[in-house]
Amino acid sequence: MDLFDDLPALPETVALAPGAVLLRAYACEQAATLLQATEAVLAQVPLRHMQTPGGHTMSVATASCGALGWVSDAQGYRYAAHDPQSGRPWPAMPACLVELAQRAAAEAGYADFQPEACLINQYVPGAKLSLHQDRDEKDLGAPIVSLSLGLPAIFLFGGSKRSQRPQRYRLAHGDVVVWGGPARLAFHGVAPLEEGDHALLGRRRINLTFRRVRNPAPGRPKPD
Protein backbone atom coordinates (compact mmCIF):
# COMPACT_ATOMS: atom_id res chain seq x y z
CA MET A 1 0.00 0.00 0.00
CA ASP A 2 1.16 3.49 -0.73
CA LEU A 3 1.01 5.67 2.38
CA PHE A 4 1.43 8.86 0.32
CA ASP A 5 -1.95 8.30 -1.33
CA ASP A 6 -3.77 9.06 1.91
CA LEU A 7 -2.10 12.45 2.39
CA PRO A 8 -3.43 15.59 0.69
CA ALA A 9 -1.01 16.43 -2.12
CA LEU A 10 0.80 19.72 -1.64
CA PRO A 11 1.78 21.86 -4.61
CA GLU A 12 5.54 21.92 -5.10
CA THR A 13 7.85 22.72 -8.01
CA VAL A 14 10.70 20.28 -8.56
CA ALA A 15 13.45 21.09 -11.07
CA LEU A 16 14.24 17.97 -13.12
CA ALA A 17 16.87 19.51 -15.39
CA PRO A 18 17.46 22.89 -17.02
CA GLY A 19 14.22 23.48 -18.96
CA ALA A 20 12.26 20.73 -17.18
CA VAL A 21 10.04 20.94 -14.10
CA LEU A 22 7.65 18.74 -12.21
CA LEU A 23 4.67 20.78 -10.94
CA ARG A 24 3.46 18.53 -8.16
CA ALA A 25 -0.30 18.59 -7.48
CA TYR A 26 -0.64 21.43 -10.00
CA ALA A 27 -3.95 20.12 -11.43
CA CYS A 28 -5.39 18.47 -8.32
CA GLU A 29 -8.24 20.93 -7.89
CA GLN A 30 -9.54 20.57 -11.45
CA ALA A 31 -8.54 16.92 -11.84
CA ALA A 32 -12.11 15.57 -11.75
CA THR A 33 -13.20 18.09 -14.42
CA LEU A 34 -10.16 17.30 -16.57
CA LEU A 35 -10.87 13.60 -16.24
CA GLN A 36 -14.50 14.10 -17.24
CA ALA A 37 -13.41 15.99 -20.36
CA THR A 38 -10.93 13.21 -21.16
CA GLU A 39 -13.58 10.51 -20.75
CA ALA A 40 -15.88 12.49 -23.07
CA VAL A 41 -13.13 12.42 -25.72
CA LEU A 42 -12.60 8.68 -25.17
CA ALA A 43 -16.32 8.07 -25.70
CA GLN A 44 -15.81 9.40 -29.25
CA VAL A 45 -12.44 7.89 -30.06
CA PRO A 46 -11.55 4.49 -28.64
CA LEU A 47 -8.25 3.69 -26.99
CA ARG A 48 -6.21 1.23 -29.00
CA HIS A 49 -2.86 -0.57 -28.76
CA MET A 50 -0.74 0.71 -31.63
CA GLN A 51 2.00 -1.21 -33.40
CA THR A 52 5.52 0.18 -33.23
CA PRO A 53 7.49 0.42 -36.49
CA GLY A 54 9.51 -2.53 -35.15
CA GLY A 55 6.36 -4.68 -35.05
CA HIS A 56 5.68 -4.67 -31.29
CA THR A 57 2.27 -4.00 -29.82
CA MET A 58 2.42 -1.16 -27.28
CA SER A 59 1.30 -2.11 -23.75
CA VAL A 60 -0.06 1.42 -23.36
CA ALA A 61 -3.41 2.11 -25.08
CA THR A 62 -3.59 5.44 -26.94
CA ALA A 63 -6.00 7.90 -28.51
CA SER A 64 -5.73 11.58 -29.45
CA CYS A 65 -7.65 14.80 -29.56
CA GLY A 66 -6.87 18.12 -31.21
CA ALA A 67 -6.14 19.13 -34.81
CA LEU A 68 -3.51 16.38 -35.02
CA GLY A 69 -3.16 12.96 -33.43
CA TRP A 70 -0.09 10.84 -32.86
CA VAL A 71 -0.12 7.52 -34.69
CA SER A 72 2.26 4.60 -34.99
CA ASP A 73 2.27 1.65 -37.38
CA ALA A 74 4.68 -0.34 -39.55
CA GLN A 75 5.41 2.84 -41.54
CA GLY A 76 6.64 4.72 -38.49
CA TYR A 77 5.56 7.34 -35.96
CA ARG A 78 3.82 10.49 -37.18
CA TYR A 79 1.03 12.97 -36.66
CA ALA A 80 -2.14 12.69 -38.69
CA ALA A 81 -5.23 14.89 -38.98
CA HIS A 82 -7.50 11.83 -39.16
CA ASP A 83 -7.90 8.79 -36.96
CA PRO A 84 -6.63 5.92 -39.17
CA GLN A 85 -9.15 3.58 -37.53
CA SER A 86 -12.26 5.61 -38.44
CA GLY A 87 -11.00 7.98 -41.13
CA ARG A 88 -12.54 10.84 -39.19
CA PRO A 89 -10.85 13.92 -37.70
CA TRP A 90 -9.83 13.54 -34.06
CA PRO A 91 -12.22 15.09 -31.51
CA ALA A 92 -11.49 18.69 -30.57
CA MET A 93 -9.24 19.32 -27.57
CA PRO A 94 -11.51 20.28 -24.67
CA ALA A 95 -11.05 23.91 -23.60
CA CYS A 96 -10.28 23.01 -19.99
CA LEU A 97 -7.39 20.81 -21.13
CA VAL A 98 -5.97 23.49 -23.43
CA GLU A 99 -6.21 26.02 -20.63
CA LEU A 100 -4.46 23.73 -18.13
CA ALA A 101 -1.64 22.98 -20.60
CA GLN A 102 -1.13 26.67 -21.38
CA ARG A 103 -1.12 27.67 -17.73
CA ALA A 104 1.35 24.92 -16.76
CA ALA A 105 3.65 25.81 -19.66
CA ALA A 106 3.63 29.47 -18.60
CA GLU A 107 4.31 28.46 -14.99
CA ALA A 108 7.36 26.56 -16.27
CA GLY A 109 8.57 29.58 -18.24
CA TYR A 110 7.11 28.81 -21.67
CA ALA A 111 4.72 31.61 -22.62
CA ASP A 112 2.17 31.33 -25.46
CA PHE A 113 2.08 27.54 -25.65
CA GLN A 114 -0.53 26.57 -28.22
CA PRO A 115 -0.90 22.78 -28.32
CA GLU A 116 -2.17 21.18 -31.52
CA ALA A 117 -2.15 17.58 -30.35
CA CYS A 118 -3.05 15.88 -27.10
CA LEU A 119 -1.99 12.25 -26.85
CA ILE A 120 -3.98 10.25 -24.33
CA ASN A 121 -2.11 7.25 -22.93
CA GLN A 122 -3.82 4.73 -20.70
CA TYR A 123 -1.79 2.39 -18.49
CA VAL A 124 -3.09 -0.60 -16.57
CA PRO A 125 -0.84 -2.47 -14.10
CA GLY A 126 2.16 -3.88 -15.98
CA ALA A 127 1.93 -1.38 -18.86
CA LYS A 128 5.08 0.66 -19.48
CA LEU A 129 6.69 3.02 -21.94
CA SER A 130 10.32 2.43 -22.89
CA LEU A 131 12.81 5.29 -22.87
CA HIS A 132 12.27 7.51 -25.90
CA GLN A 133 12.50 11.10 -27.13
CA ASP A 134 9.47 13.06 -28.35
CA ARG A 135 10.90 14.09 -31.69
CA ASP A 136 8.11 13.69 -34.24
CA GLU A 137 7.21 17.38 -33.86
CA LYS A 138 8.58 19.98 -36.29
CA ASP A 139 8.33 22.69 -33.67
CA LEU A 140 10.98 21.74 -31.12
CA GLY A 141 10.79 25.32 -29.77
CA ALA A 142 7.61 24.47 -27.89
CA PRO A 143 7.65 22.37 -24.72
CA ILE A 144 5.89 19.09 -23.97
CA VAL A 145 3.29 19.34 -21.20
CA SER A 146 2.30 16.11 -19.47
CA LEU A 147 -0.64 15.65 -17.07
CA SER A 148 -0.98 12.54 -14.92
CA LEU A 149 -4.32 11.20 -13.67
CA GLY A 150 -5.15 8.08 -11.68
CA LEU A 151 -2.68 5.51 -10.36
CA PRO A 152 0.83 6.76 -9.57
CA ALA A 153 3.69 5.85 -11.88
CA ILE A 154 7.46 6.03 -11.85
CA PHE A 155 8.56 8.49 -14.53
CA LEU A 156 12.06 8.05 -15.89
CA PHE A 157 13.72 11.28 -16.99
CA GLY A 158 17.18 11.25 -18.51
CA GLY A 159 19.31 13.45 -20.74
CA SER A 160 19.58 13.96 -24.48
CA LYS A 161 21.62 10.73 -24.79
CA ARG A 162 20.01 7.34 -24.27
CA SER A 163 23.11 6.19 -22.39
CA GLN A 164 22.58 8.78 -19.65
CA ARG A 165 21.01 7.05 -16.68
CA PRO A 166 17.52 8.46 -16.01
CA GLN A 167 16.34 9.82 -12.67
CA ARG A 168 13.13 8.34 -11.25
CA TYR A 169 10.19 10.49 -10.11
CA ARG A 170 6.86 9.40 -8.74
CA LEU A 171 4.00 11.00 -10.70
CA ALA A 172 0.64 11.09 -8.92
CA HIS A 173 -2.88 12.19 -9.81
CA GLY A 174 -2.81 15.90 -10.69
CA ASP A 175 0.95 16.16 -11.26
CA VAL A 176 2.17 18.01 -14.36
CA VAL A 177 5.60 17.74 -15.98
CA VAL A 178 6.83 20.32 -18.49
CA TRP A 179 10.02 19.89 -20.53
CA GLY A 180 11.35 22.15 -23.25
CA GLY A 181 14.31 24.32 -24.21
CA PRO A 182 17.54 22.49 -23.35
CA ALA A 183 15.48 19.50 -22.07
CA ARG A 184 13.14 19.25 -25.07
CA LEU A 185 14.81 16.10 -26.44
CA ALA A 186 15.39 14.43 -23.07
CA PHE A 187 14.89 10.67 -23.04
CA HIS A 188 11.95 9.70 -20.85
CA GLY A 189 9.73 6.73 -20.14
CA VAL A 190 7.46 5.08 -17.60
CA ALA A 191 8.33 2.02 -15.47
CA PRO A 192 5.81 -0.86 -15.42
CA LEU A 193 2.72 0.40 -13.60
CA GLU A 194 2.17 -1.14 -10.17
CA GLU A 195 -1.12 -2.60 -9.02
CA GLY A 196 -3.41 -0.19 -7.23
CA ASP A 197 -6.93 1.09 -6.90
CA HIS A 198 -7.43 4.78 -7.51
CA ALA A 199 -10.54 6.52 -6.14
CA LEU A 200 -11.53 7.98 -9.56
CA LEU A 201 -9.77 5.72 -12.04
CA GLY A 202 -9.61 2.29 -10.41
CA ARG A 203 -6.78 0.20 -11.92
CA ARG A 204 -5.83 2.83 -14.48
CA ARG A 205 -3.45 5.67 -15.05
CA ILE A 206 -4.17 8.18 -17.79
CA ASN A 207 -1.45 10.49 -19.02
CA LEU A 208 -2.11 13.35 -21.41
CA THR A 209 0.74 14.94 -23.32
CA PHE A 210 0.20 18.22 -25.10
CA ARG A 211 2.34 19.01 -28.11
CA ARG A 212 2.89 21.80 -30.60
CA VAL A 213 3.56 19.97 -33.85
CA ARG A 214 3.61 21.96 -37.04
CA ASN A 215 4.50 25.60 -37.12
CA PRO A 216 6.01 27.83 -34.54
CA ALA A 217 3.19 29.57 -32.73
CA PRO A 218 2.52 33.16 -33.87
CA GLY A 219 4.97 35.58 -32.33
CA ARG A 220 7.72 33.04 -31.88
CA PRO A 221 10.68 33.38 -34.28
CA LYS A 222 10.94 30.61 -36.84
CA PRO A 223 13.96 28.32 -36.30
CA ASP A 224 16.28 28.25 -39.35
Binding stretches for Fe ion (CB under 5 A): 134
Binding residue for ligand SIN, selected from 38, 64, 114, 121, defined by CB under 6 A: 121
**Footprint (CB under 6 A) of ligand SIN, residues 52-71:** none
Rounded CA gap, 27 and 175, in Å?
Answer: 6
Least separation in angstroms between residue 127's CB and ligand SIN is 10
Least separation in angstroms between residue 81's CB and ligand SIN is 20
Query: Do residues 38 and 51 lie in contact, with contact meaning Cβ atoms separated by under 8 Å?
Result: no
Query: Do residues 126 and 166 lie in contact, with contact meaning Cβ atoms separated by under 8 Å?
Result: no
CA angle 186, 191, 195 (to 5 degrees): 150
Residue nearest to ligand SIN (CB): 207
Query: Do residues 163 and 52 lie in contact, with contact meaning Cβ atoms separated by under 8 Å?
Result: no
> Which one, 111 or 194, has the nearer CB to ligand SIN?
194
**Footprint (CB under 6 A) of ligand SIN, residues 148-177:** 148, 155
Least separation in angstroms between residue 20's CB and ligand SIN is 13
Rounded CA gap, 178 and 220, in Å?
Answer: 18
Rounded CA gap, 186 and 183, in Å?
Answer: 5
Binding site for ligand SIN (CB under 6 A): 119, 121, 129, 146, 148, 155, 188, 190, 207, 209
